[in-house]
Homo-oligomer: A and B are copies of this chain.
Amino acid sequence: MEHYKVGEIAEKIGVNVETLRYYEKIKIMPKPKRKESRYRFYDELDLRRLLFIKRAKELGFTLKEIKELLNLKIESTATCGDIKHLAEHKLTDIEERIKDLKNIKNVLIKLINQCVCEEVSTEECPILEVIEQKII
């Protein structure tokens, strides 16, 4: 079994050491074993857990949600369906965010297209006018 000091595993994962201590503090990572020196020592399991966290983060899960996923994972009563629920919930969440952003995008495009004036003062800027009066 491989062992890593905090700096080693941090580099392997691509986060910084403080982040690992932070993860420990918020209990998304378990307390690692220690050497006599009191230095943290991480093993392969920790490495896999950290990679899981990293990937789940890339999927838009928050640390809190990732903690839930990890807890379900070790709860023997939890089913794969429980995990699916969390994923589905996250999906609607993300779809909602995409929808909102698309609306915002469309309004911004309209605003920008109304503006053809490089040299006009902000007094007459159609963008500002629109924001002010919410014409759109």
Contacts and interface: CB of A to CB of B under 8 A. Distances in A.
A12 interface: no
Give the number of copies in the complex: 2
B81 A119 contact: yes
B121 A79 contact: yes
A83 B132 contact: no
A84 B121 contact: no
A122 B80 contact: yes
Determine the interface band of chain A, counting residues with CB < 8 A from chain B: 35 or more
A128 B51 CA distance: 12
Interface string A102-128: 101101110110010111111011111
Contacts of A121: 76, 78-80
Contact of A115 (B55, B75, B83): B83
A24 interface: no
26 contacts: A55-B132, A59-B104, A69-B128, A69-B131, A73-B122, A73-B125, A78-B121, A79-B117, A79-B118, A80-B115, A80-B122, A80-B128, A81-B117, A82-B122, A84-B125, A84-B127, A87-B111, A87-B115, A87-B127, A90-B108, A91-B108, A91-B109, A94-B101, A98-B98, A98-B101, A98-B102
